[in-house]
Structure 1
């Protein structure tokens, strides 16, 4: 059973689905791709979208009713993709943050596409001091992490976990992203695949394809690890961690 921990299916609240009809279609595609359960993770506090906890819970419940009425066998749960920002700790204090699990253990955290703010390490430390495990969204597409992969290694070594978008790993976002996703996985710096599905071209479900490639490249046990880790995160249990290894960037020196 595949579990998708990152998707933008809820209609009309962020850059994901733009209509209930599109959301229903995407949910059907998810089920056809072998996904049985999915987190609804609309963007929150990213400078464009604010999706408060109570609103996401209500909208997810309404969406589940539409799925049931259309005989679509997808179980959906409320969550958020939270952008790291100066107000995050206060939002946690105000109980306006949703987690990947009901025990409030795993927090899906997003960095800006091209940066990891200088305060990130300190803030993530403060978050983890509260017993929260930070789950990093799509590090393989972050240009700062691509140029300085030690950022990701330090976070994973400190206890964070990371998602890799399935489409990244199978090449949908280009060769550079694909190769970096492979490096992240080979160095034990990723724990699960997610769809990060949007109602946009090239932003659909490629979980099965990614799992097949993972089994081919890393072996059956590694592939099963990604499946069981997704279930563990949804249930608030411990993920299986492999020993993280630093990605050493190759440098080429000319004699002249």
Structure 2
């Protein structure tokens, strides 16, 4: 495939959060990612006040140390400092000095999995005041973006999956409105591979078919079964988009273009 993919969401840095536990595991993950075709990895440890206090200076220093180890080991991977910012009451105060996704205006944001749409309404305006926009991590895993919610939650999702209801029209849905207003969305390769369950996989495919993703990430927390997940997730995305469009998504071409 060549090495030109970009992983926009990865917990590769050692001992900062619930990701890699030590340098040895980080190196194992890095070798797998490089072998698969990734050239750039955005290191995005959790930033949660009262939980994971991974402020930008700490992350930047950790990236510098880890990059040095990768270079010493001959692993062709460029690390970029970032954060997975938790969407809570503390997020607005973190925005002015927040680590962006490379040279873009986007910050990776994790929406609480069980949160409703009410948390998301003010998000774009808050970001825009600082010249920023949210890159929302794995929306397929979040209840706030569940297109089956209006159809009865779990039963709606199952009815859709079993073919008892037509695929929902996302034209006026909350997630499409957020994209129109400036949000971008990062899908997890593991979601397409079924690593988070059937419902998440179906939502991921729905969002993929509707062109809602601007980039992908591994969201890798360890080296265990990482290669298998990459292969399976890639195969599913390619089966929907074809090779060229899959490569564009894995390179973050749309995100770079602001699309």
TM class by shorter chain equals 0.7 to 0.9
Structure 2: tracts of 5 or more residues without a match: 150-169
Tell me how far 1:216 sits from its aligned partner: 2.1
RMSD of aligned C-alpha atoms?
A: 2.2
Partner of 1:92: 95
Partner of 2:115: 115
Report the secondary structure of 1:12's partner residue: coil
CA contact (8 A) 2:176 2:212 kept: yes
Structure 1: tracts of 5 or more residues without a match: 241-256
CA contact (8 A) 1:10 1:59 kept: yes
Cα distance, 1:35–1:208 mapped onto 2, change above 3 Å: farther
Partner of 1:253: none
Partner of 1:189: 212
Tell me how far 1:115 sits from its aligned partner: 1.2
Aligned pairs for 1:99-178 (under 5 A) are 99-102=100-103, 105-116=105-116, 118-146=118-146, 147-148=148-149, 150-178=173-201
Deviation readout 1:23-62 (Å, 9 max, x if unpaired): 1111111111111110100000265211011110011000
Partner of 1:246: none
Partner of 2:203: 180
Cα distance, 1:185–1:47 mapped onto 2, change above 3 Å: farther
CA contact (8 A) 1:110 1:136 kept: yes
Alpha-carbon distance between aligned partners in 2 of 1:44 and 1:160, rounded to the nearest angstrom: 19
Identify, as 1 or 2, the structure richer in helix. Answer: 2
Alpha-carbon distance between aligned partners in 1 of 2:209 and 2:88, rounded to the nearest angstrom: 30
TM-score by length of 1: 0.82
Cα distance, 1:84–1:118 mapped onto 2, change above 3 Å: same
Alpha-carbon distance between aligned partners in 1 of 2:27 and 2:121, rounded to the nearest angstrom: 39
How many residues are matched?
Answer: 233
Alpha-carbon distance between aligned partners in 2 of 1:54 and 1:183, rounded to the nearest angstrom: 38
Cα distance, 1:17–1:70 mapped onto 2, change above 3 Å: same
